Amino acid sequence: MQDQLLTRTKRLVVKIGSSLVTSRGEGLRLDHISSLTKDLTAVQAENREVVVVTSGAIVSGIDQLELKTYPHALPLKQAAAAVGQSRLMRAYEKSFEELGFKVAQILLTHQDLADRKRFLNARHTLTSLIRFGVIPIINENDTVSVDEIQFGDNDTLAAQVAHVVDADLLVILSDVAGLYTADPRQDPSATLIPVVKEITKDIEQRAGTSRTEESTGGMITKVQAAKQAAQFGVSTLIINGETPGLLPCVLNGEPSGTYFMPNYRRLQSRKQWIAFTLRPKGHLILDDGAVQALQHRGKSLLPSGILEVKGEFQPGDSVICADQHGEEFGKGLVNYSSHTLRYIKGQKTSEVLKMTGQQEYEEVIHRDNLVILS
């Protein structure tokens, strides 16, 4: 079945890791960039739409600045990214143009997607580029990204981009051939897992924690990206990005790598954005009645059902809803700050009015702004 889903792919996001386009001490791997470009244009020429998410700015900048070691200080990393990004882009542009394809550079921060207006704007821009047959080349805007607005790694960024452009497939080109039963670099008996139907805790454990200095992620962030993509209704394929010609072959049905099935309970885009793009600022612990009403009866959350308020947040922020045992089951946008909620929690609507003298909203989280996750 997965080969049918793959061959029918119309729009795909391809994530290219740093080690595929750069080499420490030698800078950009121009030959390999050409080879990757050839594969990507072959896919685009088959009437599919390719969006690229690429890493490599920082490593390329390190080389250009002749730094001896990988920088850990943020300003230095950002300086390296600024120097490296333009070189990286120049290499892609040259390579794609030689094959007759146009490209556009897009640099994103998490904040660009956490604001619904900016999210929709990014979607419109990307869709327009795709309509013009231009291949968007996206990276995190490392130069201005600091902790709070950072995606942190490009696997996560690529999963979010797959949602923004409503892709059918996320392809993660890696320096390993897919997900193995154990880390193949440490355990020679490890075998490749060809299909993952659901990303369980066991699968996440198999991804381990191994990572190299140059790659911000490692297998675990790839599996987490696949999990996010699945929730967006997008399937993910992890294949070896070192093998020339592999990507077009796989999209024509040749089995390779690990294929992660999408989750078919696809939420509407706005709810996906609430559930998986926004970062929660706090937790609301609810009593059993409220849990039932939210989970099974399609109700909004009222102050009376709240037992405890954790974290600091403002109206419009997103929060996690959990039961008394801490089991998280939903996420939503609150109408009240954490400060006000601590004051009115557990109170009936009529009491809230008396206590506050005004009540802009009856609901703490309106149903339309609530996503039930389990």
Which residues sit at the interface with ligand GLU, rule CB under 6 A?
18, 55-58, 81, 139-140, 142, 153-154, 215-217
If the CB atoms of residues 38 and 87 are measured against ligand GLU, the closer one turns out to be 87
CB of 226 to ligand GLU, least distance (A): 15
If the CB atoms of residues 72 and 117 are measured against ligand GLU, the closer one turns out to be 72
CA quadruple 97, 145, 158, 269: dihedral, nearest 10:
-120
Please report where in the chains the tokens 């390993």 appear, as a residue.
176
CB of 123 to ligand GLU, least distance (A): 21
Question: What are the tokens at 323?
Answer: 């039961």
CB of 210 to ligand GLU, least distance (A): 15
The answer to whether 183 touches 248, Cβ cutoff 8 Å, is no
CB of 353 to ligand GLU, least distance (A): 50
If the CB atoms of residues 160 and 215 are measured against ligand GLU, the closer one turns out to be 215
Distance linking the first and last C-alpha atoms of the chain: 26
Candidates 54, 74, 272; CA nearest to 172 is 54
Candidates 17, 8, 12; CA nearest to 242 is 17
Candidates 231, 91, 89; CA nearest to 156 is 231
CB of 155 to ligand GLU, least distance (A): 6
If the CB atoms of residues 77 and 163 are measured against ligand GLU, the closer one turns out to be 77
CB of 217 to ligand GLU, least distance (A): 5
Angstrom distance (rounded) from CA 78 to CA 100:
32
If the CB atoms of residues 58 and 370 are measured against ligand GLU, the closer one turns out to be 58
Angstrom distance (rounded) from CA 40 to CA 25:
27
Candidates 123, 170, 107, 151; CA nearest to 270 is 123
Distance of CA 310 to the CA centre of its chain: 26
If the CB atoms of residues 9 and 174 are measured against ligand GLU, the closer one turns out to be 174
Angstrom distance (rounded) from CA 342 to CA 101:
57
